[in-house]
A and B are shown apart, each in its own frame.
Chain A
């Protein structure tokens, strides 16, 4: 039935694919978090304009399917904006901005849920809003937000599989390549599923441990 030699003979390709997937996951998550934080702060700003801009950003990316947005940024954006971007850049851009919208919502909710007295105490000491944010508010809010942030990061990793449609050689791309010349898609895609499980189940467990330790 299952012929696992297909996998063992192509371990190098799967390995390369996995490295690409991990690289895109890490970069897209970090960039997404940074952009997400900026968007969250914009949404909490006293200025109406920035609040609106932040809200539009979030609404846009949460309501356009990632696949559509990914294809659009690779094929259509260069035409509209008149710039040429590599498929790597398009992939990173699309994934980061998409993730940023979700991170922004998590961060905004976490910051808003924090007791207002904390901000009052920071301000009363003479802190600027920025100082209060990074010394007092964010360190506390982050702790509360570890579980949803970890959850979003796991989704982000799974989302990288969509990169294969713009021919970025990630794990899924390699899998379809291998099955194209071995004619054994069942084994190959099963292996890909197992690889994701092996990586994500322990990550989930670690995130939960981290959450418990902070309480």
Chain B
């Protein structure tokens, strides 16, 4: 099945994004569009720059040069020689971030607040929303991620999977136009990965626009509308999950995918006994 290519204007436009840490160039000129409703999986081995690219989208990391537009509004535009064509004021950057949800590998729940307060914190502090509407929506979202019974718990008393589901609810409570996921299941015990992936699958089915850095090839294959493979700071391949993962043309992608098959092969004798 080939997904219908969305023709709507892109929610995220990245043009020639470069990022250097010292003399090391982590991103070497990335072009990427994410259209409304798309679920884009960013794959690649560690050190390929996927997380840095994701963090550039909401300017948690600032590119060294390149252009970024969110919903058609330029939020960053710096030429390779360091001249700024567009420079957002702090308050505009904060407003942009409030419309882009983000989920982190290490969850980053606020440990001094209980689960409900974590979910309510964004709208309370950033939007100044009234307590009642905020609380009702927060409880609905906790129910949606299966954490309603834990509203009064402190984060330290949750499992990794539970923490990650709360952090998804926390991001959703800002009613974001899109969601960024930074290896959301990489810090989880294997048996907890499923509950987080299920939550993300539900979100994707509801039409949420998602940019997901992940090592879960299964998720990419089943849920992503497009797969982007990064290698040493550049896009090595992109296309539908079937094209990229099942019939890889690119050599690097093939080695990457085969490594996963190899681990699966190693497991086989263990599974059959």
**Does A59 have its Cβ within 8 Å of any Cβ on chain B?**
no
Give the A interface residue count (CB, 8 A).
19
Interface check B29, CB cutoff 8 A: no
A140 and chain B: residue at smallest CB distance: B112
A128 at the interface (CB under 8 A from B): yes
A128 lies within 8 A of B90 (CB) = yes
**Do A140 and B125 have beta carbons less than 8 Å apart?**
no
Contact of A117 among B58, B90, B108, B171 (CB under 8 A): B108
| CB-based contact A135/B121 at 8 Å | yes
From residue B90, how far is it (CB to closest CB) to chain A in Å? 7
Contact of B104 (CB < 8 Å), options: A117, A126, A135, A143:
A117
A131 and B125 form a contact (CB under 8 A): yes
Min CB–CB distance A60 → chain B (angstroms): 31
Is the CB–CB distance between B97 and A121 below 8 Å? no
Q: A120 near B: Cβ within 8 Å?
A: yes
Q: Does B230 contact A (CB under 8 A)?
A: no
**Residues on the A chain within 8 Å of B112, using CB:** 139-140, 143
On whether the beta carbons of B60 and A123 are closer than 8 Å, the reply is: yes
Cβ-defined contact, A121 with B94, below 8 A:
no
In Å, the complex CA distance between A126 and B58 comes to 10
Partner of B98, one of A120, A125, A129, A135: A125
The number of chain B residues with a CB under 8 A from chain A is 28
Rounded to whole angstroms, the CA-CA distance of A131 and B126 in the bound complex is 8
Decide: B60 and A124 in contact? CB cutoff 8 A.
Answer: yes
Any B CB within 8 A of the CB of A55: no
**CB-based contact A140/B97 at 8 Å:** no
> Shortest CB–CB separation between residue A118 and chain B, in angstroms?
6
A135 contacts B125, CB within 8 Å? yes
In the assembled complex, the CB of B79 is this many whole angstroms from the nearest CB of chain A, namely 22
A68 to B110, CA, bound (A): 45
Q: Which residues of B contact A131 (CB under 8 A)?
A: 125-126
Which of B110, B170, B174 touches A126 (beta carbons < 8 Å)?
B174
Task: Select from chain A the residue with minimum beta-carbon distance to B111.
Answer: A140
The chain B residue with its CB closest to the CB of A214 is B112
**B104 contacts which chain A residues (CB < 8 A)?**
117, 120-121, 124
Binding site for B on A (CB under 8 A): 115, 117-118, 120-129, 131, 135-136, 139-140, 143
